[in-house]
């Protein structure tokens, strides 16, 4: 099989991984090497299916000993199979880089023979890139669940970011769709990476030349929609991952029906709207001071509203907390007002030191008043175009037509914009 054919097979198999973002890495490269991990060195583009392809996203191999029901590369699926050698993949990467096709490498693989053997192949690929080709660019590697910790440790010295995909939000889902994988196979290396990052950070305070270990941190991916797990369960897991494993990001991948199986939902498409709402809720957990129980307060269905962003939805379900007076509310409460973001809240707190803020002043600060007007008072006056009633405000925010359609936004009806 020639290289071109391998590229076609193994890039196709890798496109369902979603873990592309700014590297966030500050790993120092060698003076005589090529490439850079600086954020400006990573350019982002998007495939016609909306997924980020700023890196060469490719599998080392799509052979796999596991038979995860949802996976296109599962052992029992009748697809074309291919595998690189470490030398082939390293050479391919560096040639793409020299041609300015890519800014880095996103390296994953099916599990060949054993997790340890697969990890050794991936490590050898990175070793050739770093040591033979002196490649300083960004490498994001998917660690193989079940691999030995020594191999995880070695891989972390070459990779900028490592991720271990949890894939399914609950143990029950994992047992149903990926019975060969165990929770411990995922959490154990995740814990090890987290501990090593902490240890490396402490050592760096004492010794400046401490070798780097995944300087861009670790991340994971969850598949949404392949199982009946609720958004509340997904976000509870996310919250725990950020707290206990110091994850940089949790990525959500809407289930795409690429294989048929009695255990999989019979949908005709993926729910990209749900995926988008989960990313918005994730943002609220990380930067707006929400916790999951608070976000789902009075949400008895435990699902995010597809017609409204999670902060608006939360505010309407807890309308008794509003309106808040922008000249008196503390920073934490301002953050929870729809239409007021982190920068806006800081501007309000700063401006209040010099005197009361007027409604016109809020406009000049860039507050999104088309949403915020329903949840604030300014110098004691309420500026909403309807009374403080959750149902009426909801109609204003999404429109009567949006309310009528809300129950019709279902899996399979969303679509992704194409940039090509």
Residue 336 in domain: yes
∠214-139-149 over CA atoms, to 5°?
45
Share above pLDDT 70 across residues of the chain, in percent, rounded to a whole number: 85
Same structural domain for residues 386 and 269?
no
Residue 333 in domain: yes
Query: Is the predicted pLDDT of residue 314 greater than 90, yes or no?
Result: yes
Picking from 361, 404, 367, 377, the residue whose alpha carbon sits closest to that of residue 321 is: 377
Query: Is the predicted pLDDT of residue 14 greater than 80, yes or no?
Result: no
Share above pLDDT 90 across residues of the chain, in percent, rounded to a whole number: 44
Same structural domain for residues 290 and 385?
no
Helices 231-245 and 183-206, interaxial angle, to 10°? 30
Please list, residue by residue across 382-411, b when 16 or more beta carbons sit within 10 angstroms of its beta carbon and e when fewer do. Answer: eebeeeeeeeebbeebbeeeeeeeeeeeeb
Residue 417 in domain: no
27 pLDDT band, cuts 50/70/90, is low
pLDDT at 282: 95
Residue 354 in domain: yes
Same structural domain for residues 272 and 214?
yes
146 pLDDT band, cuts 50/70/90, is confident
Query: Is the predicted pLDDT of residue 47 greater than 60, yes or no?
Result: no
Nearest-angstrom CA–CA distance, 27 and 161: 11
Same structural domain for residues 46 and 177?
yes
Same structural domain for residues 339 and 276?
no
Residue bearing the bigger pLDDT, 291 or 255: 291
Query: Is the predicted pLDDT of residue 416 greater than 50, yes or no?
Result: no
130 pLDDT band, cuts 50/70/90, is very high
Residue 350 in domain: yes
* pTM reported for the whole predicted model: 0.82
Same structural domain for residues 348 and 244?
no
Boundary (domain end) residue, out of 273, 296, 319: 296
Same structural domain for residues 191 and 253?
yes
Average confidence (pLDDT) over 257-281: 80
Domain of residue 154 covers: 3-24+39-296
Query: Is the predicted pLDDT of residue 206 greater than 70, yes or no?
Result: yes
pLDDT at 403: 53
Burial zone of 71 (CB within 10 Å; 0-12 exposed, 13-18 middle, 19+ buried): buried
Q: 351: helix, coil or strand? A: helix
Same structural domain for residues 291 and 233?
yes
Q: How many domains does the chain have?
A: 2
Could you tell me which residues come within 8 angstroms of residue 285 by beta carbon, excluding any fewer than 6 positions away? 235, 238, 239, 242, 291, 292, 295
Picking from 18, 114, 13, 17, the residue whose alpha carbon sits closest to that of residue 72 is: 13
Ranked by mean pLDDT, the top range of 3-12, 125-134, 397-406 is 125-134
Helix ranges (H only) for 135-182 are: 149-158, 171-177
Residue 230 in domain: yes
Mind listing the pLDDT tens digit for each residue in 147-180?
999 999 999 999 988 988 887 888 888 888 887 7
DSSP 8-state class, residue 28:
P
Q: What are phi and psi of 21, to 5 degrees?
A: -160, 180
Boundary (domain end) residue, out of 296, 330, 357: 296
Boundary (domain end) residue, out of 233, 264, 296: 296
Residue 30 in domain: no
Same structural domain for residues 90 and 203?
yes
Residue 33 in domain: no
């Amino acid at each position: 099989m020639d290289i071109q054919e391998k590229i076609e097979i193994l890039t196709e198999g890798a496109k369902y991984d979603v873990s592309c973002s700014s590297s966030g890495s500050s790993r120092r490269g060698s003076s005589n090497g090529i490439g850079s991990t600086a954020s400006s060195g990573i350019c982002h583009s998007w495939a016609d299916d909306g997924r980020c392809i700023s890196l060469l996203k490719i599998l080392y191999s799509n052979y796999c000993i596991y038979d995860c029901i949802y996976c296109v590369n599962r052992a029992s699926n009748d697809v074309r199979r291919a595998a690189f050698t470490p030398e082939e993949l390293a050479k391919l990467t560096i040639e793409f880089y020299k041609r300015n096709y890519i800014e880095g490498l996103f390296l994953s693989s099916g599990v060949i023979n054993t997790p340890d053997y697969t990890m050794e192949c991936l490590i050898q690929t990175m070793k050739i890139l770093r040591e033979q080709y002196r490649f300083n660019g960004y490498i994001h590697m998917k660690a193989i669940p079940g691999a030995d910790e020594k191999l995880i440790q070695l891989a972390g010295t070459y990779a900028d970011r490592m991720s271990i995909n949890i894939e399914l939000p609950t143990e029950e889902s994992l047992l149903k769709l990926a019975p060969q994988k165990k929770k411990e196979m995922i959490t154990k290396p995740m814990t090890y990476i987290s501990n090593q990052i902490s240890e490396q950070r402490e050592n760096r305070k004492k010794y400046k030349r401490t070798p780097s270990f995944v300087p861009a941190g670790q991340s994971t991916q969850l598949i949404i929609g392949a199982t009946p797990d609720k958004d509340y369960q997904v976000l509870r897991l996310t919250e725990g991952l950020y707290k206990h494993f110091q994850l940089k990001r949790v990525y959500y991948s809407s289930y795409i029906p690429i294989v048929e199986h009695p255990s999989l939902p019979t949908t005709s498409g993926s729910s990209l709207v749900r995926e988008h709402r989960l990313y918005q809720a994730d943002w609220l957990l990380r930067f707006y001071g929400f916790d999951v129980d608070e976000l789902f307060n009075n949400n008895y269905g435990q699902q995010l509203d597809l017609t409204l962003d999670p902060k608006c939805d939360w505010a309407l379900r807890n309308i008794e907390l509003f309106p808040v007076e922008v000249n008196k509310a503390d920073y934490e409460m301002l953050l929870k007002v729809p239409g007021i973001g982190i920068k806006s809240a800081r501007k309000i707190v700063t401006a209040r030191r010099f005197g009361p803020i007027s409604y016109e002043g809020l406009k000049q600060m860039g507050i999104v008043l088309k949403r915020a007007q329903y949840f604030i008072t300014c110098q004691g006056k309420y500026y909403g175009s309807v009374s403080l009633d959750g149902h009426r405000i909801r109609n204003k925010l999404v429109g009567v037509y949006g309310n009528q359609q809300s129950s019709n936004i279902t899996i399979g009806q969303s679509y992704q914009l194409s940039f090509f």
